[in-house]
Structure 1
Amino acid sequence: MSKQLIQALDVLEEEKGISKEVLIDAIEAALISAYRRHFGQAQNVKVVFDPKKGECHIYAMKEIIPDDETVFDSQLEIHQSDIFEYAKNATERRKFMHYEVGDEFPVEITPDNFGRIAAQTAKQVILQRVREAEREIIYNEFSEYEKEILQGTVERQDSRYVYVNLGKIEAVLSQKEQMPNEVYKPHEKIKVYVSNVESTTRGPQVFVSRSHPNLVKRLFENEVPEIFDGSVEIMSIAREAGDRSKIAVRSKNENIDPVGTMVGPRGQRVQTVVNELHGENMDIIEYSDDKATYICNALNPAKVLEVVEDEINHKCIVIVPTDQLSLAIGKGGQNARLAARLTGQKIDIKSEDEWEAMKDDFFAAQEAAKEEKEAIEELGETATSIDDLLQNMEITSLEEE
């Protein structure tokens, strides 16, 4: 050990952010391991490291026993009077006088040839502890960014992942989390949503996404101050990444238009998000606690005439003008699909003509189902009453006996 080691510890603490105390503990553990490996398996070994001089001393910690007792193991025990043999001067002798029976007394056992082998072993363990400490620091740092967005640089890609440099770590963007309309080029800067941070045997692993609905949410939070201060709230997002998203918003302040606030002056706010997502369309609608109103808003831009609840099949039938049926359903069913995800409701869209042809049978079936349900409930109540009556009769008969 030398002053060069102390300088190295200072550099590691400053540049890597690893506490010097952590590294000193690693050095002491390494030297104990090296001693036991090469000079015996003493269980009472202690290492004392001087962080000022860079010097290290190994001690056998021996229990002090009375002089009139027998020392059974000289590696573990020492007579009280014998400790003064290790005093190098009067000062140490006075210091040793404070030791009492039962205390542990340090006897230095640093071997003369401890040198190179111990240093190599110590170096390996130190490097391992440094790597572990770095991994822990990185993991703790990026755990704080979980569920947030970060800007990174595309490094490279293979058949499974796009690798994004986030500064201290390289995150992975899987094919599932990529946007189908994007091509990721090396050195390109992109914003990603940190979906998960894991601590693995190979170090921290950061998983990011470009397709997660919350990426849209975080991008709007960065652009709309009213979301940050709570004036506007994003209630739900349904997204088909790279193509279209629907966002439901509301405001508890009657003087604030939540949709207009999200869009921004001349559409600047929403356009910034659209540009970041390479042209993904954004439908911003107003949330409502009323189910029918919410579904009507969600199917925008189609006009909805009526929303009827189908209690038999647990879904909502949405009636639209016949000439707007295709608009309500959307290309490949996208508009209806996103509206269903946004509202959390099963939606069956019917044209006005289809509804006219089926509504009588529909309401008749609903009424029949309602009557059947009421009959079953009434029968259940009757059965319960009969059961109670029989139980009471049994109790009465037993009491009479």
Structure 2
Amino acid sequence: MNKELFEAINFLEKEKGINKDILIEALEAALISAYKKNFKSATNVRVDLNEEAGKMAVFAQKEIVEEVDDPQQQLSLDEAHQISPTYEVGDVVEIEVTPRDFGRIAAQAAKQVVTQRVREAERGIIYNEYIDREDDIMNGTIQRMDGRFIYVNLGKIEAKLPESECIPSETYNIHDRIKVYVTKVENTSKGPNIFVSRTHPGLLKRLFEMEVPEIYDGTVEVKSVAREAGDRSKISVFARDEEVDPVGSCVGQKGQRVQTIVDELKGEKIDIVEWSEDPVVYVSNALSPSKVVRVIVDDENKATTVIVPDYQLSLAIGKRGQNARLAAKLTGWKIDIKSESEAKDEGLLTEEDGEENIDTLDYDDSADYEESFEEMDEDLFK
């Protein structure tokens, strides 16, 4: 049995990645406990597992004293000298007390310890592997569903996709392959818990990092993301190299890069705008696809008043205020939109003020693509 035990320990180290020393240490502790329980012994004992010899032994540890009060814990100096004349009072003597049927006890203890340690080690390995994937994107397969979660198989563990983190317009079916954003990895007594999302803005950012080489290598930086999952999103980008067009890099030739992301998000419309440290330019860009006549900045309250042509007021505000709401989230500035007529009535705009046609385009998977690309500078895709 001893030889088989050591073979099993070596197998677990290779196959499960569990450190052999940890297993042996745990097994020794379990054997000590089993010995005391089965043989009603309060003696301090040590279990020695000798892998080379393929043997195990139990040693009682007794302190050498001049006068013995507790025979189970103490040994007289005369008795100690029968073992070795070098012993002195205060030394600890080890006496082998391995029972004849200790192999049976060891087998039971080993089974319990190994099972427990394997479970704990596997949980630890999984936790350590996935904690590094927090705030990252992963591929998974939908395994099952219940009233609260969709369970997504990530390979070694099932992640939980809460109903609140699902895109409302999406349909989820068993065995569907989906990309998810890891929002939280926690270690519990029952093992690791991984929570994922399909609505988190980080998912959109990671998708662009995967699809756009310029973002992955740092040439283009994603500055901000505002998202209403399943409907519309805005993302602002900035190029560290002045010769690189950040918007064009994200769009890709004939819109292929952004189209791939739109397809992954099941038709979610995406506005890609250029970031600027100038709030006038940035807010104007963020209100894409509407044109902006003027932006009045209130630095103290971090608020802006944006004036747009009368015929573009509804476009600037968006359906149910969505365009303005996303632009405010994207820029971090409060945005109050007024039409030219309203602005003139309030004295914010004069007849001499002209239009600032600061244009950005709306990229989605609809027929608007063709119209948008016709309006774009031909140099965009060079």
Please classify the TM superposition score into its range, dividing by the shorter chain length: 0.7 to 0.9
Deviates more, 1:37-46 or 1:351-360: 37-46
Higher relative contact order (CA 8 A, sep 6+): 2
C-alpha change, 1:327 and 1:360, in structure 2 (3 Å) is closer
User: C-alpha separation between the residues in 2 aligned to 1:201 and 1:159?
Assistant: 24
Q: Which residue of 2 aligns with 1:55?
A: 55
User: C-alpha separation between the residues in 2 aligned to 1:210 and 1:110?
Assistant: 60
Q: Show structure 2 runs of 5+ residues with no match.
A: 350-382
C-alpha change, 1:144 and 1:97, in structure 2 (3 Å) is farther
Deviations 1:20-47 (CA, angstroms, capped at 9, x unpaired): 2121112111111212222235262211
Q: CA RMSD in A?
A: 2.2
Q: Equivalences for 1:150-229 in 2 at 5 Å?
A: 150-229=138-217
Matched residue SS, 1:249? strand
Q: Which residue of 1 aligns with 2:14?
A: 14
User: C-alpha separation between the residues in 2 aligned to 1:49 and 1:10?
Assistant: 13
User: C-alpha separation between the residues in 2 aligned to 1:18 and 1:355?
Assistant: 71
The structure 2 residue matched to 1:70, chosen from 67, 70, 90, is 67
Deviations 1:344-399 (CA, angstroms, capped at 9, x unpaired): 111111111111122369xxxxxxxxxxxxxxxxxxxxxxxxxxxxxxxxxxxxxx
Task: Report whether the alignment pairs 1:236 with 2:221.
Answer: no
Matched residue SS, 1:140? helix
The structure 1 residue matched to 2:343, chosen from 338, 341, 355, is 355
Q: Equivalences for 1:2-401 in 2 at 5 Å?
A: 2-40=2-40, 42=42, 44-65=44-65, 69-80=66-77, 82-83=79-80, 85=82, 101-310=89-298, 315-359=303-347
Deviates more, 1:41-50 or 1:345-354: 41-50
User: C-alpha separation between the residues in 2 aligned to 1:216 and 1:200?
Assistant: 29
C-alpha change, 1:224 and 1:120, in structure 2 (3 Å) is same
User: C-alpha separation between the residues in 2 aligned to 1:98 and 1:354?
Assistant: 105
Instruction: Flag the structure with higher helix content.
Output: 1
C-alpha change, 1:113 and 1:164, in structure 2 (3 Å) is same
Give how far 1:297 is off. 0.3
Counterpart code for 1:344: G
Whether the 8 Å CA contact 1:199–1:205 is kept in 2: the answer is yes
Matched residue SS, 1:26? helix
C-alpha change, 1:98 and 1:169, in structure 2 (3 Å) is farther
Counterpart code for 1:71: V
C-alpha change, 1:354 and 1:99, in structure 2 (3 Å) is farther
Whether the 8 Å CA contact 2:166–2:197 is kept in 1: the answer is yes
Q: Which residue of 2 aligns with 1:388?
A: none
Give how far 1:183 is off. 1.3
User: C-alpha separation between the residues in 1 aligned to 2:14 and 2:300?
Assistant: 68
User: C-alpha separation between the residues in 1 aligned to 2:96 and 2:278?
Assistant: 81
Deviations 1:214-268 (CA, angstroms, capped at 9, x unpaired): 1111111111221222211000000111111111000121111111111112212
Whether the 8 Å CA contact 1:2–1:53 is kept in 2: the answer is no
Matched residue SS, 2:71? coil
Whether the 8 Å CA contact 2:81–2:87 is kept in 1: the answer is no
Q: Which residue of 2 aligns with 1:396?
A: none
Whether the 8 Å CA contact 2:307–2:339 is kept in 1: the answer is yes
Identity of aligned pairs, percent?
56
Deviates more, 1:48-57 or 1:288-297: 48-57
C-alpha change, 1:360 and 1:264, in structure 2 (3 Å) is closer
Count of residue pairs the alignment pairs up:
349
Counterpart code for 1:180: P
User: C-alpha separation between the residues in 2 aligned to 1:341 and 1:43?
Assistant: 69
Give how far 1:193 is off. 1.0
C-alpha change, 1:309 and 1:125, in structure 2 (3 Å) is same
C-alpha change, 1:286 and 1:98, in structure 2 (3 Å) is farther
Matched residue SS, 1:63? strand
Whether the 8 Å CA contact 1:151–1:189 is kept in 2: the answer is yes
Counterpart code for 1:9: I
Query: Which entry has the higher C-alpha Rg, 1 or 2?
Result: 1
Matched residue SS, 1:359? coil
Give how far 1:101 is off. 5.0
User: C-alpha separation between the residues in 2 aligned to 1:18 and 1:188?
Assistant: 33
Whether the 8 Å CA contact 1:316–1:345 is kept in 2: the answer is yes
User: C-alpha separation between the residues in 2 aligned to 1:99 and 1:340?
Assistant: 83
C-alpha change, 1:320 and 1:46, in structure 2 (3 Å) is same
Deviates more, 1:56-65 or 1:99-108: 99-108
Give how far 1:15 is off. 1.6
Give how far 1:62 is off. 1.8
Whether the 8 Å CA contact 1:6–1:52 is kept in 2: the answer is no
Counterpart code for 1:145: R
User: C-alpha separation between the residues in 2 aligned to 1:184 and 1:98?
Assistant: 77
User: C-alpha separation between the residues in 2 aligned to 1:335 and 1:98?
Assistant: 90
C-alpha change, 1:47 and 1:268, in structure 2 (3 Å) is same
User: C-alpha separation between the residues in 2 aligned to 1:51 and 1:100?
Assistant: 32
